[in-house]
Amino acid sequence: MTPLSRERIRAFMRAFPDAQSDLPLRTKTYLKIGGPARLFFETDDGDRLVHAIRVARAADIPVAILGGGSNLLVADAGYEGVVVQNTDRDIRIKEDRITAAAGAITALIARKSVDSGLAGFEWGVGIPGTIGGAVYGNAGCFGGEMRDVVESVEAYFFDQDMTMTCTENVRTVRRGPAGSDKGRSGKKRAGMGCRFGYRDSRFKHETGLILRVTVQLKAGDLAASKKKMDAIIAARKTTQPQGAFSAGCLFKNYEIHADQPSAITNIPSEFRRTGTIPAGWLIDTCGLKGTRIGDAEVSRVHANFIVNRGHATAEDIHALYLLIQKRVQEKTGIVLENEVQFLGF
């Protein structure tokens, strides 16, 4: 990473005196790992966030967006640029729709949806981090994923320098300063919407800052939804590491296709039926649970998690990640794809 020059740092700090320099990113991640962000800017004001990104880009400063830090590995050397974080946690419920700022906590939105008698997002309680991050990665668990519930997403796209509201079939485009709503305001065009895929969305491919998310649910039965939510919380407790520092699942589950490697012969029929081989099962089958590099350990509860046993470095986690990938490939021919986000590597 090329160090940021003093002038560029000063240019940003002049525009945003409340930005911080050299903020340790380990304080912002679930793994409790990560070196400093050369510049760090947090605000609950979406327009200021967009402005910060514009100023940074004009000064040729790399920009990274931090959601809740739940699915993120930050390098030990940190990030030589500006990390921006939306701290707006606003959640509004109107009839069957919930509109939340990107910084709102996903599990809290799920709990509020249930308390308001809405059904369809009980599983959201199992998603750590913010709703912005959940949309970005089309997060999912226990049979649900974000694409099932998202109605629209308002996002600022850096490269086009515009704010758009993306839905599955339509996008509205606003050009000009964020929030000004001038120009082609409200003009609907055929578009590609959020382009959700398995742990994927357009926001991963077109650098976009998610500002606001609207989910649409159904009127439900309060007692039934509460029961469902409790069952999800209980299932998570038994199948995933609890109270440990981790970044969630490391790898995507493997989708079986015709030219699948022949080295795996013992695939349980259940996985053949669903067409997906869980990464956790593959890693477990390779006997890797409990494997350790420094304080980084393959969870003994769920093999698709690496836990930080105390003082793991990003390098330890990364080395263990590569070791898992190599062993699984040697034994099964499958190259596991990463699900966790890397910053500063």
241 binds ligand EPU (CB under 6 A): no
121 binds ligand EPU (CB under 6 A): no
229 binds ligand EPU (CB under 6 A): no
CA dist 159 and 180 (Å) reads: 18
Q: Which of 109, 252, 336, 344 binds ligand EPU (CB under 6 A)?
A: 252
Name the DSSP letter for residue 35: -
Count residues contacting ligand EPU (CB under 6 A)? 17
- List alpha helices for the chain, DSSP H: 6-15, 46-58, 106-115, 131-136, 146-149, 202-205, 222-239, 269-274, 279-285, 314-332
Cβ distance to ligand EPU smaller for residue 54 or 327: 327
Cβ distance to ligand EPU smaller for residue 253 or 325: 253
Q: Which of 80, 122, 316, 339 binds ligand EPU (CB under 6 A)?
A: 339
Q: Which of 248, 297, 318, 320 binds ligand EPU (CB under 6 A)?
A: 248
CA dist 276 and 231 (Å) reads: 24
For residue 168, which amino acid is it?
E
Q: Which of 165, 253, 308, 341 binds ligand EPU (CB under 6 A)?
A: 253
122 binds ligand EPU (CB under 6 A): no
Angle ∠(184,188,190) on CA atoms, nearest 5: 125
249 binds ligand EPU (CB under 6 A): yes
CA dist 260 and 298 (Å) reads: 26
Token duo for residue 266: 């013992």
Please, which contacts does 183-189 make with residues 24 or more away whose CB atoms are closer than 8 Å? none
Counting every residue written for the chain, the total comes to 345
Work out how close the CB of 227 gets to ligand EPU at its nearest, in angstroms, rounded to a whole number.
Answer: 17
Asked if residue 317 lies in contact with residue 296, where contact means CB atoms within 8 angstroms, the answer is yes
**Binding to ligand EPU, residues 283-312 (CB under 6 A):** 284, 302-304
145 binds ligand EPU (CB under 6 A): no
- Of the ranges 49-57, 74-82, 153-161, 276-284, which one interacts with ligand EPU (CB under 6 A)? 276-284
Residue 104 Rama label (left phi>0; alpha psi -120 to 50; beta)? beta
Q: Which of 196, 159, 157 is nearest to 174 (CA)?
A: 157
Q: Which of 312, 53, 76, 290 is nearest to 178 (CA)?
A: 53
245 binds ligand EPU (CB under 6 A): no
CA dist 247 and 316 (Å) reads: 14
- Of the ranges 18-26, 34-42, 185-193, 278-286, which one interacts with ligand EPU (CB under 6 A)? 278-286
274 binds ligand EPU (CB under 6 A): no
For residue 295, which amino acid is it?
D
Work out how close the CB of 135 gets to ligand EPU at its nearest, in angstroms, rounded to a whole number.
Answer: 14
174 binds ligand EPU (CB under 6 A): no
Work out how close the CB of 301 gets to ligand EPU at its nearest, in angstroms, rounded to a whole number.
Answer: 7
Q: Interface with ligand EPU by CB under 6 A: which residues? A: 126, 141-142, 239, 248-249, 252-253, 278-281, 284, 302-304, 339
